[in-house]
Structure 1
Amino acid sequence: MNRSLRLFLIVTAMAALAIVSILISACASNAQPTPTPTRTPRPAGATPAATAPPAVVVPSPTHTPAPTNTRAASPTVPPTPSAVPSATATATPPARAANANPLTGLPVSDPKVLVRRPLFVAVGNDPEARAVHYGFTEADLVYEYIMEGRAVTRFTLAFLANESERIGPLRSGRLVNFHLTPQYGGALAVSGAQGQINWFLTFKMAAPYLNVDLDDPSQVKYAYNIWGLAPSKDLEYLTRLWTSTDRLRRWLSDKKAEQDPKLVGFTFSETAPAGAPAKSASIPFPAAVTWTYDPTSGRYLRSMGGAAHKDGASGKQLSAANVIIQTVAHEKTEYWEDAISTSIRIVTVGEGPVTILRDGVAIKGTWRAGDTTMPEFFDPAGKPIALKPGNSWFELVAPETAVTIQ
């Protein structure tokens, strides 16, 4: 092949390759390009946000405001005892005469007084009040319980058959009254209450409720004042406010809340059950309580802080036919009664240990009570424990309380 022909073939081949290259480029230009990942530009001055796992929010503890005697807004936690079984009556209702007081077993001259609500009244036990305690002798029942701070106790007196012209000093209500009052179909009278507790007593308690500070602010209709009983003016609030059964019955009448609670009543017997000797009992409350058996009267005499606890009207030492030492749960709450102490929920619903003192003997057993049923007492064999006819004092103690009986 001559030189001219060889050159022609080379040029032709190169031209063909160029045409093929152009065609390939044209086809590639019609395909969708695959973008290369790029970092999103950050605006000038911006700081990248750190990515973190979701936070677990732990609410900070809050301090409930100091007590206010107002109709407080609805609290979020009801005063219901935790893990307490519902109690049901297991004993046959005790038989009694139509004129027998279901709370004391004693006869009354007018049976009509037994078909009305028991009156429950909160009474103070501050040192300034102890010399002027009135109404205790006439009360069918007296409950004593520890207060917040555990520096003093308070009483709730119950009146059904007897009348009392002077009861007090009247003090504020506590959570323990929330259960006690409906258990007897009663009505509760107090001088006031911490805001949240007042809400419970007003709107949730299954019983009529008189807050004298709010419902009788002039304190001339359902209560009255006696001044000058405290050692100083700044302590007058501990001793000035009083009430009577007549005034409280008037309140129930005005409220149209009087009714027959149809009380089942306690079991009573003149004969004491078998029990261990019990000449005295000591309860380590702040003002140490001692009950000493008096064989002459067949009753227990009460001392407090080493001195005889006396009735303000008669000057006589207070006494009881029955002393009922009822062991109940004492639970912490979030309700601030003052700047340093929260209210104690004392649980009288359910069941627990009980020791009953009567006629110089101590009978151990079990108490049972429902939301609206009176407490019942059973011996280890499951038989009802009979009380002695007469008044009863209940000492509500925590499980860890070391009660000494001799």
Structure 2
Amino acid sequence: MRSAWDTPVRGRSAAALGALVLGVALSACSDPGGPETAPPPRSTGGPQQSETPVPETHPFTGERKGIGNPVLAVKIENTRPALPQSGVKAADIVYVEQVEGGETRLMTVYSSQLPKRVGPVRSARISDLHILPQFGRPAFAFSGVQSKMKKHIRKAPVYDISQENAGGAYFRSGSKPIPYNLYADPKDLLKEAPKAGKARDIGFRFGDAPAGGKPTRSFTARWPSASMGFTWSKKHKRWLASFGGRPDRAAEGGRLGGETVVIQYAETTRSKFHDFLGNYTPLIKTTGSGRARVLRDGKSYDAKWSRPSDKEGTTFTTARGEPMNFAPGQVWMVLVNDGRPRTP
């Protein structure tokens, strides 16, 4: 957030002030019946002290690094055969979305920093095209989409740097079988989208935790065929992720997880798309408003989310209507159905 400086008020010299006061006094003596003239305000003789400016912070993390960098979003597999994943640890924002069969897939968003590689990279979904417009026109990396969805990708406000269009940035690696061995170099991906939009305000607010909150050790998010847990670590000062009851580890080492975890309850319906097995693709409604649970600093907060349209960001408020500040650092946006887990 940019901070304004107070405009200094310069003092007048003692000589100038004395001359002015003398002139006023002579004028009053020559016309005793005239109105009383107030003296000019006294000057302090120097500029007023201005407030210390608040430094700019990154709109995705609340931290100072990487401000003004372009935005890259990548689709990453999130099933057992794909683990451990590469590059998730370095993301500014991690979206967890339901896909066919009640499983989940990640969409990682980078701006403040880039990892050496990301993956396994997988295909895009229609819900991505409703989430991404709030970022302006980001670069979007994915392995492909079904043919019926290609026209929607072309119309979307993203730079399509899929494997089909930016093949040189992708490579096969490791012992995992296809399709779980496709990775990409983020720097090479961004070279294919030199005009990708820079990070901008998407509604997140960072700062001190609001009053209240319930001390919480752990929380588990559930989908029809998957679950992810988040356990508070006082030592690491962040929520450590688990997948299916097991520690969710990063390929680079250590546990995945973030300083803030947002459980966003959003209506999950059936889209017009489906996979080759006939399983319909979920459409997650991320516009409108709804309830949320925000995990930060070892506490859980009941919150509300609001997003007027696809092109606008999502704001979060407490139950009392105050801004729901996030803790600076990585944010996990965990999208679950508003109600029981369901396969549309």
Question: Structure 2 residue aligned with 1:223, among 170, 173, 176?
Answer: 170
Once the two structures are superposed, the pairs formed by residues 192-271 of structure 1 within 5 Å of their partners are 192-203=144-155, 205-212=156-163, 214-216=164-166, 219=167, 221-226=168-173, 228-230=174-176, 236-253=177-194, 257-260=195-198, 262-263=200-201, 266-271=204-209
Q: What secondary structure sits across from 2:89 in the alignment? A: coil
Scaled by the length of structure 1, what TM-score is found? 0.67
Percent sequence identity is 24
For 1:187 and 1:224, locate their aligned partners in 2 and report how far apart those are by CA, in whole Å: 18
Decide which structure has greater strand share.
2
In structure 2, the residue matched to 1:291 is 230
Are the aligned partners of 1:273 and 1:363 in contact in 2 as well (CA < 8 Å)? Answer: no
Once the two structures are superposed, the pairs formed by residues 124-203 of structure 1 within 5 Å of their partners are 124-131=77-84, 133-150=85-102, 152-185=103-136, 186-203=138-155
In structure 1, the residue matched to 2:316 is 377
Q: For the structure 1 residues 180 and 274, does the alpha-carbon distance in structure 2 shift closer, same or farther, using more than 3 Å as the test?
A: same
For 2:142 and 2:75, locate their aligned partners in 1 and report how far apart those are by CA, in whole Å: 5
- Could you say what the CA RMSD is over the residues aligned between the two structures, in angstroms? 2.0
Scaled by the length of structure 2, what TM-score is found? 0.79
Are the aligned partners of 1:139 and 1:157 in contact in 2 as well (CA < 8 Å)? Answer: yes
Q: For the structure 1 residues 94 and 174, does the alpha-carbon distance in structure 2 shift closer, same or farther, using more than 3 Å as the test?
A: farther
Aligned length: 289
In structure 2, the residue matched to 1:346 is 284
Give 1:198 shift. 2.5
For 1:336 and 1:377, locate their aligned partners in 2 and report how far apart those are by CA, in whole Å: 32
Query: Which amino acid counterpart does residue 215 of structure 1 have in structure 2?
Result: N
Q: Deviations over 1:34-67 (max 9, x none)?
A: xxxxxxxxxxxxxxxxxxxxxxxxxxxxxxxxxx
Q: What secondary structure sits across from 2:151 in the alignment? A: helix
Are the aligned partners of 1:183 and 1:372 in contact in 2 as well (CA < 8 Å)? Answer: yes
Which stretches in structure 1 are left out of the alignment for 5+ residues? 1-92, 231-235
Give 1:98 shift. 5.2
Which stretches in structure 2 are left out of the alignment for 5+ residues? 4-52
Q: Deviations over 1:107-162 (max 9, x none)?
A: 11xxxx4324311100001221013x011111000001111121x21000000111
Q: Deviations over 1:358-379 (max 9, x none)?
A: 0111111211122112211011
Query: Which amino acid counterpart does residue 171 of structure 2 have in structure 1?
Result: Y
For 1:306 and 1:264, locate their aligned partners in 2 and report how far apart those are by CA, in whole Å: 32
Give 1:243 shift. 1.1
Give 1:332 shift. 0.8
- Does residue 104 (structure 1) correspond to residue 43 (structure 2)? The answer is no
For 2:202 and 2:334, locate their aligned partners in 1 and report how far apart those are by CA, in whole Å: 22
Greater gyration radius: 1
Moved over 4 A (4+): 93-99
Are the aligned partners of 1:94 and 1:266 in contact in 2 as well (CA < 8 Å)? Answer: no
Once the two structures are superposed, the pairs formed by residues 28-107 of structure 1 within 5 Å of their partners are 97=54, 99-107=56-64
For 2:197 and 2:124, locate their aligned partners in 1 and report how far apart those are by CA, in whole Å: 23
Are the aligned partners of 1:94 and 1:264 in contact in 2 as well (CA < 8 Å)? Answer: no
For 2:260 and 2:101, locate their aligned partners in 1 and report how far apart those are by CA, in whole Å: 28
